[in-house]
Structure 1
Amino acid sequence: MSPKSPAQTLLEKADKKANSSSGWFSSSSTKFEEAGDLYQQAANSFKLEKLFREAGDAFAKEAECREKCNETNDAANAWWNAAKAYKRGFPDLAIQALSQTVVHLTQAGRFRQAADREKEIAQIYLQEQHDLRRACESFERAGDWYAQEDATATANACFKDAADLHAELEEYQIAVARYDQVASHSLGSALTKYSVKDYWLKALLCVLASSDYVSARRNLERYRLLDTTFPSTREAKFVTALLEALEQGDEEAFTSVVFEYDQVTKLDNWKTAILVKIKRGIQQAPGLT
């Protein structure tokens, strides 16, 4: 029989302490404080052994002990440590641990930190589980919390990510509203104004994807009034050329416009995907003239 690892020995000691009855001269709170310390030591020892599931479980047990002592800050930190361990291959458990962290942080009014953890949840949903809907919800929740803490740039980044996902889910009106929201916040700063043309390009592509060419022209005009330099940008000229091809039902012209734009400004995966959807609109509704 192989000897127990230091981590396993600490874990058993922690379990024994947590499950013991309180003595005459010690309180239940003291018992759970000591057990929590032992679980934390066990978790760190498991991390040294690269046993991340076991480390996460031990941090989760630490968190539960901290909760029983009403040590909410320590409980939030323990849940976060559990999440960081679970991220090494156990995304479901990482989300659960981060969600517990968020509960403690919001109850303590620490919304900036809660937003950080909610953003982590969104990224796990997106990158590990490919759950666009839940990722979108978490990005928006994080964005709201950042915004109320005056972290405007970080809030806008979350809302932009949410807008991208709304578009992928073909919820184009919601996506446009989010892009417009982020663009309007970015217009007021010299540092962020450069990014507005890309937000408006994405918003306009969403309108084209919904085959609403009248609204596309109306939005082009609205953006011109907000920023008189916009019509001269490559983005505005690109959308205008696409719109003309769509109104003519000219698939060949549409493809040519996309190709020429891509030669100078490489299209990313998001724009490529939505342009494919827009092109389908030509085949389904072949022209307005």
Structure 2
Amino acid sequence: MPSKSPAQVLLEKADKKANSSSGWFSSSTTKFEEAGDLYQQAANSFKLEKLFREAGDAFAREAECRENCKETNEAANAWWNAAKAYKRGYPDLAIQALGQTITHLTKSGRFRQAADREKEIGQIYLQEHNDLRKACESYVRAGDWYAQEDAASTANACYKDAADLHADLEEYPQAIARYEIVADHSLSSALTKYSVKEYWLRAGLCALAMNDPVIAKRNLQKYSNQDATFPSTREAKFLAALLQAYEGGDVEAFTGAVFDFDQVTKLDNWKTNILLKIKKLVQDGEIGLA
């Protein structure tokens, strides 16, 4: 018979402790505290053996013991440790464990940490499940929590990620609204003002992809009014050139403008994808027929 691993031995001790009846002189709190410690040791031992599912399960059992002792902070931490173990191949369990962590954190008013964990959930939905909608919801929720904790730049990063996802889902009005919120926040600080042109460029591309030249023109004017330096930026000139080619149904001019911009500022995947959608509208001659 194969001998039990150290982790297995610790797990059995923890189970035994958790299921034991409290004696005359010891309280159930003591019992669960001791069981929690043993589950934690077992979990770390499973991690050493690279058995991440078992490690996650042991941390989850530890979390339940902490909850029985009303140790909210320790429970939140144990659930987070469970999530980190589950992330190694068990994304659904990781999301559940992070949800439990967030419940404890929000109850004790630790919204900054809750936002960190919610952002992790968004990343798992995006990377493991390619579920853009759920990822978007998580980024928005995290952004709201960061904002209320005065972590403006972190909130903005989450809102920007959410805006990108809205655009990927072809929810252009929501994407534009989010980019504009982020741009407004960024305008208020000398440190972040330089990034405003990027957000307005993305919002402008969304207006074109929405097949609404009127909104695209109006927004370009609005952004120029908000910041007098915007019209002289490469981003604003690029948008103006695209808008002109788009309204004239001129595919060649459109392609030329994209090529010129890409020569100086490499287009990322997001911009490339949305520009291909806009180009198709120009090619099909469907301008403004939304």
Same fold at TM > 0.5: yes
- Counterpart Cα distance in 2 of 1:206 and 1:159: 16
Give 1:207's aligned residue.
207
In structure 2, the gaps of 5 or more residues are none
Residue 26 of structure 1, CA deviation: 1.4
Partners in 2 of 1:287 and 1:24 — Cα distance? Answer: 82
- 1:88 is aligned to 88
Deviation, 1:99, is 0.6
Alignment partner, residue 137 of structure 2: 137
Root mean square deviation of aligned Cα: 1.0
Shift of 1:51: 1.1
Q: What do the CA deviations read for 1:220-256 (whole angstroms, capped 9, x no partner)? A: 1111111111001110111111111111111121111
TM superposition shift of 1:287: 5.4
**Distance (whole Å) between structure 2 residues aligned to residue 30 and residue 211 of structure 1:** 66
Counterpart in the other structure of 1:39 = 39
**Alignment partners' CA distance in 2, 1:169 and 1:126:** 13
Q: Which residue of 2 aligns with 1:269?
A: 269
DSSP-derived class of the 2:242 partner:
helix
| Distance in 2 of aligned mates of 1:271 and 1:285 | 21
Aligned in 2, Cα 1:286/1:76: closer, same or farther, shift over 3 Å? closer
- 1:206/1:274 contact within 8 Å kept: yes
Q: Deviations over 1:182-231 (max 9, x none)?
A: 00000011110110000000000000000110111111111111111100
Aligned length: 288
Deviations 1:86-117 (CA, angstroms, capped at 9, x unpaired): 11111111111111000000000000010011
Does the aligned pair in 1 maintain the 2:87–2:94 contact within 8 Å? yes
Give the distance between the partners of 2:252 and 2:87, measured in 1 at CA.
47
Give the Cα separation in 2 of the matches to 1:220 and 1:167: 18
**Contact 2:281–2:287 (Cα < 8 Å) also in 1:** no
Percent identity between the two aligned chains: 77
Deviates more, 1:203-212 or 1:246-255: 246-255
CA distance in 2, matches of 1:278, 1:64: 52
Matched, 1:232 2:196: no
**In structure 1, what is the equivalent of residue 219 of structure 2?**
219
Whether contact under 8 Å (2:211, 2:287) holds in the other structure is no
State the Cα distance separating 1:70 from its structure 2 match: 0.8
Instruction: Could you list the structure 1 runs, at least 4 aligned residues long, displaced by more than 2 angstroms after superposition.
Output: 283-288
- Secondary structure of the structure 2 residue equivalent to 1:47: helix
Q: Select between 245-254 and 158-167 the one with higher mean Cα deviation.
A: 245-254
Q: Give the Å deviation of 1:39.
A: 0.2
CA contact (8 A) 1:250 1:287 kept: no
SS in 1 for 2:129: coil
Give yes or no for contact 2:186–2:196 (8 Å, CA) kept in 1. yes
Show the counterpart of 1:281. Answer: 281
Q: Return the offset for 1:80.
A: 0.4
Matched-pair contact (CA < 8 Å) for 1:163–1:175: yes
**Map of 1:23 onto structure 2:** 23
TM-score norm. by structure 1 comes to: 0.98
What is the Cα deviation at residue 132 of structure 1? 0.4
- Aligned counterparts of 1:287 and 1:223: Cα–Cα separation in 2: 23
Matches within 5 A, 1:82-161: 82-161=82-161
Q: Distance in 1 between matches of 2:238 and 2:280?
A: 18
Alignment of 1:54-69 (within 5 A): 54-69=54-69
Aligned-partner Cα distance in 2 for 1:67–1:173: 43
Q: Which runs of 5+ in 1 are unaligned?
A: none
How far, CA to CA, are the matches of 1:59 and 1:78 in structure 2? Answer: 6
Cα displacement (A) at 1:283:
3.1
Query: What letter matches 1:115 in structure 2?
Result: A
Q: Which amino acid aligns with 1:168?
A: D
Query: Could you tell me how far apart the structure 2 residues matched to 1:58 and 1:129 are?
Result: 25
- Quick check: 29-38 or 101-110, which moved more? 29-38
Paired residue for 2:173?
173
